[in-house]
């Protein structure tokens, strides 16, 4: 089987084109990582009291009362670390200029290469090209019947992902030049960021599950390193560790899925798995189990219930990291995995329904939490969790293209939102920095009325907000609509609708998910508008002195914002629905991805492409638009930014507001139910009880004590009195003689 594909790869239409340079894609950022990593090890900043990096640990000491406050306090401290402080001179890294060139350059070159590959692919037939282009480099793990090659493959899905990753990645790298300019760990930051992109590309280019897994865990590692980038704060280091461990729980699921696949199909190559998987019984327990375990992996990486808890904490990292890793690319890896394994999921309707339900629940659940967050990045974090839920609703219900479409548009507008918030935080921080204030630069209660001070950011963030809310003709409108529409259409005449999920008919589940999706859309519009109003409108609450220092970020930061703004506005062009055919070609992405997921999508809908009547489609779209507008209007009418007071003077929340602000106390519950019992059990029972108590004390040292007991008996007999010994000897001799005589 392997051989066959090597033959076909040689005859592949892409052979001999620029795509032959596939291996260079991840290698370029890896090279950047090596260079920047070496730079970061060069001691280039003066250690001592003059080093702001040293100082910001001390700065974080203030105001750590209460849980919520502590979180904000350390983030303030981080920003102090990032941008220096009045008390200390700003110390930049000696080789910052080199890192600023190398870091983004490798990404830009990779993006250029990816674009060239895209055109090569279009030239070779684009959506008509049915086999992926596979490149095998060397045998990775040969073991008996198990053959695993280090191999990359490029197909239409990977191509799309590569373009998003390198494109958005380049923009975020450029933004970081400005955002991180005063951080002493500057080269280290770019090293991690480059490494992340390298692993992300391995993830989407891998030609089999284990290679994908290399990227999968690799991006988790970079996420860990970047969340804990300002590691001197325990909370940051904790957040990084939490992300890694929670992701590992998901990885456990992915590993089991791989083992099951190998045990039953004997291969882990995507191509071979897709060819052989039809040998398994449709909808049988085996394929369902495989898909569910795989989805466990997705819930970890893509922050879905029940493993979403790490993503909000991950906002402890620098804002560009949140944009790149925790919004645009890494967290969508789960969606990519399901689209990549669409053949498997289309064989398991129950698993598909599970994905849809979890996605819908996550979407609504996270959206409610997003309503009451004050930290601007936390709002966006929960928004990301919620939007990822949409993507899972899409891929779960067999609308793989819709899910991937939303993945792409979400990458545009969420990256823009995060970078925009970064720009806001940058301005806020600079203002507080000038006056030496230690207020929280991320809390929206300290913002307000920023629009006049930062026009570019303001306009661009409104574009992104309209996009995420689903206002017509912005990118998010098309992708979200497509997901909701396909949920509706698949509620009848599909394998999902015919299956039963925990006894509930599949069609009811899908209608329910559709309703939840609509509700979440309403909430999305509300909380996003709320964020915009509190940040940019109403009176300014930053402070009298600080106000004069508020200003727009430099061009190196706003430039990428503009590009993302354009993409957020027109990204819907990627996949226009039929009713908007006046805007351009309809369903470009549908046709592009058809060779990858088309067959699976058809299997879900019983072989017929679902077609809505014109009136149904208009009704669906109309409903969604109405809900989005309703949300914006509700927020605009109900919210009174004038009544807000700065964070320091804010009263405590009560009732349901308090529950929402505290994220339903899920973290606390996990701590009580999972973490504390595990640690307690390990320490109290396993270590002190079993290990030290029973095994070591009773069994091991017990046997030693037993031996010592016997020997002390012998020692007592050895009195040292030779007379006694002589008596014993004589009595013994007499006894022996006597025994012989009497017998």
Q: State which of positions 688-727 bind other proteins (CB under 8 A).
A: 690-691, 695-696, 699-700, 704, 714-723, 726-727
Q: Judged by CB under 8 A, which of 190, 192, 213, 458 binds other proteins?
A: 213
Nearer to other proteins, 626 or 733 (CB): 733
What residues numbered 301-360 form the site for other proteins, per CB under 8 A? Answer: none
What residues numbered 60-79 form the site for other proteins, per CB under 8 A? Answer: 60
What residues numbered 507-526 form the site for other proteins, per CB under 8 A? Answer: none
The answer to whether 392 touches 359, Cβ cutoff 8 Å, is yes
Cα distance between residue 497 and residue 643, in whole Å:
49
Q: Which stretch binds other proteins (CB under 8 A): 37-45, 473-481, 525-533, 631-639?
A: 37-45
Nearer to other proteins, 57 or 554 (CB): 57
Check binding of 218 to other proteins (CB under 8 A). Answer: yes
Per DSSP bridges, beta strands 500-501 and 504-505 are: antiparallel
Q: How far is the CB of 140 from other proteins (least distance, A)?
A: 7
- Print burial letters for 621-643: b (CB count within 10 Å at least 16), e (below 16): beebbebbeebbeebeeebebee
Q: How far is the CB of 66 from other proteins (least distance, A)?
A: 19
What residues numbered 256-285 form the site for other proteins, per CB under 8 A? Answer: 256, 258-260, 262-267, 276, 279
Q: How far is the CB of 256 from other proteins (least distance, A)?
A: 6
Q: Which stretch binds other proteins (CB under 8 A): 39-47, 87-95, 356-364, 415-423?
A: 39-47
Q: Which stretch binds other proteins (CB under 8 A): 134-142, 443-451, 606-614, 652-660?
A: 134-142
Nearer to other proteins, 43 or 651 (CB): 43
What residues numbered 40-59 form the site for other proteins, per CB under 8 A? Answer: 40-41, 43, 47, 53-54, 57
Nearer to other proteins, 240 or 560 (CB): 240
User: Residue ranges of the alpha helices (H) in 588-688?
Assistant: 588-593, 599-604, 614-638, 655-661, 666-670, 676-680
Q: How far is the CB of 92 from other proteins (least distance, A)?
A: 16
What residues numbered 583-612 form the site for other proteins, per CB under 8 A? Answer: none
Q: Residue 341: in which H helix or E strand, if any?
A: none
Q: How far is the CB of 727 from other proteins (least distance, A)?
A: 6
Residue-wise DSSP of 441-483: TTBGGG----TTT-HHHHHHHHHHHHHHHT-TTSHHHHHHHHH
The answer to whether 364 touches 382, Cβ cutoff 8 Å, is no
Q: How far is the CB of 589 from other proteins (least distance, A)?
A: 31
Nearer to other proteins, 144 or 651 (CB): 144
Q: Enumerate residues 6+ apart whose C-beta is below 8 A from 354.
A: 292, 295, 396, 501
Nearer to other proteins, 267 or 354 (CB): 267
What is the three-class DSSP state of 554? coil
Dmax over CA atoms of the chain, in Å, equals 126
Q: Judged by CB under 8 A, which of 46, 618, 681, 706 binds other proteins?
A: 681
Check binding of 31 to other proteins (CB under 8 A). Answer: no
Q: Measure Cα distances from 545 to 79, 357, 437, 539 in Å.
A: 19, 50, 10, 15
Cα distance between residue 438 and residue 436, in whole Å:
7
Q: Enumerate residues 6+ apart whose C-beta is below 8 A from 237.
A: 228, 231
How many chain residues are in contact with other proteins, going by CB under 8 A?
Answer: 82
Q: Judged by CB under 8 A, which of 182, 217, 599, 653 binds other proteins?
A: 217
Nearer to other proteins, 552 or 667 (CB): 667
- Closest by CA to 205, choosing from 342, 24, 407, is 24
Nearer to other proteins, 578 or 685 (CB): 685
Give strand pairing partners of 500.
505
Check binding of 551 to other proteins (CB under 8 A). Answer: no
Place of tokens 């659940």: 365
Q: Judged by CB under 8 A, which of 67, 122, 551, 683 binds other proteins?
A: 683
Binding letters toward other proteins, positions 419-448, x by CB under 8 A: ------------------------------
| Token duo for residue 499 | 């299956």
Q: Judged by CB under 8 A, which of 129, 150, 484, 601 binds other proteins?
A: 150
- To 10 degrees, the CA torsion angle through 661, 667, 670, 673? -70
The answer to whether 153 touches 270, Cβ cutoff 8 Å, is yes
Main-chain phi, psi angles of 439, to 5 degrees: -70, 165
The answer to whether 202 touches 140, Cβ cutoff 8 Å, is no
Nearer to other proteins, 195 or 363 (CB): 195
Main-chain phi, psi angles of 23, to 5 degrees: -60, -25
Q: Residue 567: in which H helix or E strand, if any?
A: helix 555-570
The answer to whether 235 touches 70, Cβ cutoff 8 Å, is yes
Q: Enumerate residues 6+ apart whose C-beta is below 8 A from 168.
A: 324, 328, 329, 411, 412, 415, 564
- Give the count of beta carbons closer than 10 Å to the beta carbon of residue 48: 8
Q: Measure Cα distances from 111 to 72, 105, 632 in Å.
A: 36, 10, 36
Q: How far is the CB of 224 from other proteins (least distance, A)?
A: 8
Q: How far is the CB of 64 from other proteins (least distance, A)?
A: 11
| Token duo for residue 662 | 């505290």
Q: Enumerate residues 6+ apart whose C-beta is below 8 A from 660.
A: 368, 369, 371, 372
Q: Judged by CB under 8 A, which of 11, 143, 502, 608 binds other proteins?
A: 143
Q: Which stretch binds other proteins (CB under 8 A): 132-140, 403-411, 569-577, 610-618?
A: 132-140
The answer to whether 450 touches 481, Cβ cutoff 8 Å, is no
Q: Measure Cα distances from 69 to 227, 260, 527, 586 in Å.
A: 19, 46, 22, 50
Q: How far is the CB of 170 from other proteins (least distance, A)?
A: 24
Q: How far is the CB of 30 from other proteins (least distance, A)?
A: 11
What residues numbered 151-210 form the site for other proteins, per CB under 8 A? Answer: 210
Binding letters toward other proteins, positions 639-678, x by CB under 8 A: ---------------------------------------x
Nearer to other proteins, 238 or 498 (CB): 238
Nearer to other proteins, 249 or 602 (CB): 249
What is the three-class DSSP state of 153? strand
Nearer to other proteins, 2 or 583 (CB): 2
What residues numbered 228-257 form the site for other proteins, per CB under 8 A? Answer: 228, 231-234, 237-238, 241, 244-245, 248-249, 251-252, 255-256
Cα within 13 Å of Cα(344), Cβ side:
30
Q: Measure Cα distances from 668 to 67, 102, 192, 638 in Å.
A: 11, 42, 31, 31
Q: Judged by CB under 8 A, which of 224, 270, 365, 390 binds other proteins?
A: 224
Radius of gyration for the chain, computed over Cα atoms and rounded to the nearest angstrom: 31
Nearer to other proteins, 174 or 212 (CB): 212
What residues numbered 366-395 form the site for other proteins, per CB under 8 A? Answer: none
Cα distance between residue 198 and residue 32, in whole Å:
9
Q: How far is the CB of 725 from other proteins (least distance, A)?
A: 8
Nearer to other proteins, 38 or 656 (CB): 38
Q: How far is the CB of 54 from other proteins (least distance, A)?
A: 7
Q: Judged by CB under 8 A, which of 70, 214, 562, 639 binds other proteins?
A: 214
Q: How far is the CB of 700 from other proteins (least distance, A)?
A: 5
Q: How far is the CB of 74 from other proteins (least distance, A)?
A: 10
């Amino acid at each position: 089987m392997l051989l066959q594909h090597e033959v076909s790869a040689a005859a592949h239409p892409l052979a001999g084109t620029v795509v032959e340079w596939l291996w260079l894609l991840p290698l370029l950022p890896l090279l950047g990582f090596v260079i920047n990593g070496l730079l970061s090890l060069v001691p280039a900043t003066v250690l001592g009291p003059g080093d702001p990096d040293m100082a910001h640990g001390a700065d974080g000491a203030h105001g750590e009362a209460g849980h919520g406050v502590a979180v904000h306090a350390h983030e303030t401290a981080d920003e102090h670390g990032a941008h220096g402080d009045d008390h200390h001179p700003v110390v930049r890294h000696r080789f910052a200029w080199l890192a600023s060139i190398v870091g983004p350059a490798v990404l830009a070159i990779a993006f250029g290469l990816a674009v060239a590959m895209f055109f090569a692919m279009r030239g070779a037939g684009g959506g008509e090209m049915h086999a992926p282009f596979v490149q095998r480099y060397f045998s990775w793990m040969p073991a008996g019947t198990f053959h695993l090659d280090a191999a990359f493959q490029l197909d239409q899905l990977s191509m799309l992902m590569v373009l998003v990753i390198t494109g958005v990645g380049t923009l975020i790298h450029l933004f970081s030049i400005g955002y991180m300019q005063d951080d002493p760990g500057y080269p280290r930051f770019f090293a991690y960021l480059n490494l992340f992109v390298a692993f992300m590309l391995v993830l989407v280019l891998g030609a089999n599950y284990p290679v994908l897994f290399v990227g999968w865990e690799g991006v988790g590692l970079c996420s860990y390193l970047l969340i804990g980038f300002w590691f001197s704060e325990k909370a940051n280091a904790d957040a990084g560790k939490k992300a890694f461990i929670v992701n590992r729980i998901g990885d456990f699921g992915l590993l089991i899925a791989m083992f099951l696949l190998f045990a039953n199909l004997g291969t882990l190559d995507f191509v071979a798995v897709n060819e052989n998987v039809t040998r398994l019984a449709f909808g049988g327990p085996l394929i369902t189990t495989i898909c569910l375990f795989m989805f466990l992996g997705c819930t970890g990486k893509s922050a879905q219930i029940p493993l979403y808890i790490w993503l909000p904490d991950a906002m402890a990292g620098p804002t560009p990291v949140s944009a790149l890793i925790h919004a645009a690319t890494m967290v969508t890896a789960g969606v990519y995995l399901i689209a990549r394994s669409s053949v498997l999921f289309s064989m398991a309707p129950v698993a598909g329904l599970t994905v849809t339900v979890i996605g819908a629940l996550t979407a609504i659940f996270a959206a409610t939490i997003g309503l009451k967050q004050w930290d601007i990045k936390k709002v966006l974090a929960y928004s990301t969790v919620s939007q990822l839920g949409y993507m899972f609703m899409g891929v779960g219900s067999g609308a793989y293209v819709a899910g991937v479409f939303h993945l792409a548009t979400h990458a545009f507008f969420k990256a823009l939102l995060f970078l925009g918030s970064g720009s806001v935080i940058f301005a806020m921080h600079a203002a507080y920095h000038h006056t030496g204030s230690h207020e929280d630069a991320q809390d929206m209660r300290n913002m307000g009325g920023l629009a006049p001070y930062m026009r570019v950011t303001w306009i661009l963030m409104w574009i992104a907000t309209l996009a995420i809310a689903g206002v017509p003709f912005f990118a998010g409108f098309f992708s979200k609509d497509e997901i909701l529409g396909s949920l509706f259409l698949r509620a009848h005449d599909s394998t999902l609708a015919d299956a039963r999920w925990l006894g509930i008919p599949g069609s009811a589940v899908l209608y329910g998910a559709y309703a939840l999706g609509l509700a979440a859309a309403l909430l999305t519009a509300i909380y996003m508008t709320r964020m915009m109003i509190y940040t940019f409108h109403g009176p300014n609450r930053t402070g009298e002195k600080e106000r004069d220092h508020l200003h727009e970020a430099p061009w190196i930061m706003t430039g990428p914002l503009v590009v993302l703004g354009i993409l957020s506005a027109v990204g819907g062009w990627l996949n226009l629905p039929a009713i908007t055919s006046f805007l351009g070609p309809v369903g470009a992405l549908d046709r592009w991805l058809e060779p990858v997921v088309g067959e699976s999508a058809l299997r879900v809908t019983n072989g017929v492409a679902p077609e809505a009547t014109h009136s149904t489609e208009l009704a669906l779209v109309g409903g969604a638009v109405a809900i989005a507008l309703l949300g914006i209007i509700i927020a605009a009418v109900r919210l009174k930014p004038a009544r807000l007071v700065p964070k320091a003077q804010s009263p405590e929340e009560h009732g349901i507001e308090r529950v929402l602000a505290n994220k339903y106390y899920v973290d606390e519950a996990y701590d009580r139910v999972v973490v504390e019992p595990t640690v307690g059990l390990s320490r109290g029972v396993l270590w002190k009880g079993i290990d030290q108590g029973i095994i070591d004390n009773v069994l091991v040292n017990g046997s030693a004590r037993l031996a010592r007991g016997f020997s002390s008996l012998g020692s007592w007999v050895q009195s040292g009195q030779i007379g006694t010994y002589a008596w014993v000897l004589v009595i013994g001799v007499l006894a022996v003689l006597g025994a012989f005589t009497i017998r």
